[in-house]
Chain A
Amino acid sequence: MKAARLTLRQLKDRAASRLMGGLTILVALLVPIMALALLARARPLFDIAPPGRLLLESEWRPLRQVFGFLPFIAGTLWVTLIAMLLATPLSLLCAIYLAEYAPGRSRELIKPLLDLLAGIPSVVYGLWGVLTVVPFIREVVVPWASDALGCLPLVHSDNPTGYSVLAGGIVLGVMVFPVIISTAEEVIRAVPGGLREAALALGATRWQVVNSVVLRRALPGVIAAVVLGFSRAFGETMAVMMVVGNIPQLPRSIFDAGYPLSALIANNYGEMMSIPLYDAALMAAALILLIVVVIFTVFARITLVQAIRRAA
């Protein structure tokens, strides 16, 4: 009875609400849908070996049905860790400067530049890597390192090309600058001003205020910013695959070539349908990327929301 009294306007309103609600739920479920779809495609691979063995196996011979992901996982970890070692201190110092030191006008000038840096397409970063970073490593860094530090384990080099996990790490590091800086700056600025003033009144220098008051308060958020940068770097594809050399091996030095998971997928999509189980293996690689990135992003986002809410 009640439904009959609804006017056309109310009916439209209800229909729109249902439709839009349905769309919203669908979008919210996209992550599990993607995971399940990739899992379904990767399933046949788990019939020949359990996931644990696939992850720790270091041999990769698609034609003989041997799929070991260890070299690719190692490649991804190498480039990501190098990128984070490079980007974390630089980005945090920048973020502190922008939030605590920079006068309003120069902040207004620098923030658009960071947006530009974030907007540069991945292939352009890759091109920069190929034309600038790789030759620099080949001509300058490698000769210097083998003269000065040749005996150390992590910098020993027998790869003369310059296409290396170090090149991938540098390019990735520059790519994650804007991610870490903008998030960390926001978190640092959310720390209430009263805390700073109290410390300044006690005679602290600005750096002492930052170091002992602001950063302590903002720490969870700053960690979250770094984790966001990590998960951005973890799955980056084009720029990295243009400079890391793409050789499936376990890199033993920063000058060795590596082969990240993302590059594995992008390089082999062409032949994946012609070799049995190859497509399943590539989809499994995508699934690994998805799972790791989702775990890290969820952690970072929840921490961030809490950090900003607590600070304010």
Chain B
Amino acid sequence: MNRLKYLEERIFLGLMVISLIIVVGSLVMILGMVVVRGVPALNLAMLTQTPRGGYYLGKEGGILNAIVGSLALAGGATVLSFFLGLAVALYLQVFTMDARLAHLIRLSLDVLWGIPSIVYGAFGFTLMLWLGLRASLLGGIVTLTLLELPIAIRAMDEVLAMAPSELREASYALGATRLETAWHVLVRQSGPGLLTAMLLALGRGIGDAASVLFTSGYTDRLPTSLLRPAASLPLAVFFQLGTPVPEVRARAYASAFVLTVIVLIISVATRSLTGRLRRHVIR
């Protein structure tokens, strides 16, 4: 009887360690695959040139269009969702007195967070049809903004909630209005955290393909106008992988490597920022 319970303990501990190895192992396997396949296919021309004639048959060129396009799409969406998101997060934290309303809004943000990006894409497309827009950088930015908003708001909401309430009380006691308290005290106090929230949203936005598929299209040129289509890295991976030409498929691996490196940099920056940049923070 006693033996049995220790045997059981052993078995389950073993199973747990095995599952942990499988989970961490799959991460290692994916990252390893991206490096092993991507690095040999990478060269300077890929990073500095746009596709030339015959690129998709294996001739000269690179994916600069997709790199710049992705940065423009996700960057634009992140800036937009920062300002919109900050307004909503501050409203939830400072302006509204109605706890049930705030709870309901947080619930709907969590639901928005879970909505698949292809649905955002379909909705963005519908929106663009009504506005008479074609697949364009602007359409992609609007759709990605919707996708990033719930992430940005929830993260900023949590960051703002961590500011000590004495700070607010001191500000109100000096006669500051809610807006002044929000802007001069809370935002300043939470600065680093707000930046982290933005990086979180940027990371999600830059890797997303399904939402920009309909809305920003794809082009071999660099994005120069908000009303023209823009390329993006995830779609560069997807389209190049779909061709039968081995050289082009190899470029898909290289594109995936570039995308993964960008996402990893954002992720590491998010982590290290959490600790630093605390000049205005009162502890």
Most chain B CB neighbours (cut-off 10 Å) among A123, A177, A262, A294: A123
Q: Determine the chain B residues whose CB is within 8 A of the CB of A235 once the complex forms.
A: 115-119
B126 located at the interface, meaning its Cβ lies under 8 Å from any Cβ of chain A in the complex: yes
Cβ of B263 within 8 Å of any chain A Cβ, yes or no, is: yes
Which DSSP category, helix, strand, loop or mixed, fits chain B's interface? helix
Q: B207: which A residues are within 8 A, CB to CB?
A: 119-124
CB-defined contacts of B96 to chain A, threshold 8 Å: 21, 24
**B281: Cβ under 8 A from any A Cβ:** no
Q: Is the CB of B123 within 8 A of A24?
A: no
Instruction: List residues of chain A with CB under 8 Å of any chain B CB.
Output: 9-10, 12-13, 16-17, 19-21, 23-24, 27-31, 34, 37-38, 40-41, 89-91, 93-94, 96-98, 101, 110, 112-117, 119-128, 130-132, 174, 177, 181, 204-208, 210, 228, 231-232, 234-238, 242, 262, 265-266, 269, 282-283, 286, 289-290, 293-294, 297-298, 301-302
What 19 new A-B contacts, CB under 8 Å, besides A13-B177, A23-B88, A207-B5?
A: A21-B95, A24-B91, A27-B150, A89-B19, A98-B20, A110-B24, A113-B27, A116-B27, A119-B267, A121-B208, A121-B259, A174-B26, A204-B5, A205-B6, A235-B116, A238-B234, A242-B238, A283-B122, A302-B107
Once the chains are docked, how many angstroms separate the CA of A114 from the CA of B23?
9
Closest A residue, CB atoms, query B253: A127
In the complex the two chains form, is A126's CB within 8 Å of B126's CB?
Answer: no
Contact with A along B157-200 (1 / 0, CB 8 A): 00000000000000000000111100000000000000000000
Given contacts A10-B177, A120-B207, A286-B122, contact A27 B88 (CB under 8 A): yes
Interface residues of B in 21-38 (CB under 8 A from A): 22-24, 26-27, 29-31, 33-34, 37
A265 to B211, CA, bound (A): 11
B90 close to A (CB within 8 Å): yes
Interface centre among A37, A98, A121, A301, by most B CB within 10 Å? A121
Q: Which residues of chain B are near A266, meaning CB under 8 Å?
A: 118, 121, 210, 213
B44 within 8 A of A: no
- A113 proximity list for chain B (CB < 8 A): 24, 27
B contact residues, range: 35 or more
- Interface residue from B115, B126, B241 paired with A294 (Cβ < 8 Å): B115
**Shortest Cβ distance from B156 into chain A, in angstroms?**
13
Known: A20-B90, A262-B118. A130 touches B12 (CB 8 A): no
Task: From A93, A114, A289, name the one whose CB has the most chain B CB atoms within 10 angstroms.
Answer: A93
The docked-state distance in angstroms from the alpha carbon of A10 to that of B264 is 45
Query: Complex formed: what's the CA distance from A157 to B98 in Å?
Result: 58
Q: Is there contact, CB below 8 Å, between B108 and A124?
A: no
Q: Which of the residues A16, A28, A210, A293 comes within 8 Å of B116, measured between beta carbons?
A: A293
Q: A123 to B179, Cβ gap below 8 A?
A: no
Q: Known contacts A28-B104, A294-B115: does B122 contact A122 (CB below 8 Å)?
A: no
B24 touches A237 (CB 8 A): no
* Inter-chain contact A37/B126, CB cutoff 8 Å: yes
Q: CB-nearest residue of chain A relative to B36?
A: A131
Query: Which positions 101-133 of chain B face chain A at CB distance < 8 Å?
Result: 104-105, 107-112, 114-119, 121-123, 125-127, 129
In the bound assembly, the distance between CA atoms of A293 and B123 in angstroms comes to 15
Chain B residues, Cβ within 8 Å of A302: 107
Quick check: B115 and A21 within 8 Å, CB to CB? no
Smallest Cβ distance from B211 to chain A, in angstroms? 9
CB pair B241–A17 under 8 Å, yes or no, is: no
B57 beta carbon closer than 8 Å to chain A: no
Shortest Cβ gap from A242 to chain B (Å): 7
Known: A24-B88, A112-B271, A121-B260. A126 touches B238 (CB 8 A): yes
Residues in chain A near residue B263, CB distance under 8 A: 119-121
A29 to B125, CA, bound (A): 19
**Residue B82 interfacial (CB < 8 Å):** no
Chain A residues with Cβ below 8 Å from B260 are 120-121, 124
For residue A230, give the distance in angstroms from its CB to the closest CB of chain B. 10
Q: Which residues of A contact B235 (CB under 8 A)?
A: 123
Q: Shortest CB–CB separation between residue A115 and chain B, in angstroms?
A: 7
Closest to B91 in A: A20
Across the interface, which residues of A come within 8 angstroms of B214, CB to CB?
269
B119 pairs with A286, CB closer than 8 A: yes
Pick the contact of A237 from B27, B92, B117, B127 — CB < 8 Å? B117
List of A residues within 8 angstroms of B248 by Cβ: none
Question: Could you give 8 example pairs across A and B, Cβ below 8 Å?
Answer: A12-B177, A17-B178, A19-B87, A27-B84, A27-B149, A101-B13, A123-B207, A282-B122
Residues of chain B within 8 A of A237, CB atoms compared: 116-118, 209-210
Separation of A293 and B122 alpha carbons in the complex (Å)? 15
Q: Are A293 and B23 in contact (CB under 8 A)?
A: no
Q: In angstroms, how far is the closest chain B Cβ from the Cβ of A263?
A: 9
Residue pair B16, A41 in contact (C-beta under 8 Å): no
Q: With A20-B87, A27-B149, A232-B114 in contact, is A128–B29 under 8 Å at CB?
A: yes
A204→B8 CA distance, assembly (Å): 12
A86 to chain B: closest residue by CB: B22
A131–B33 CA distance with the chains assembled, in angstroms: 8
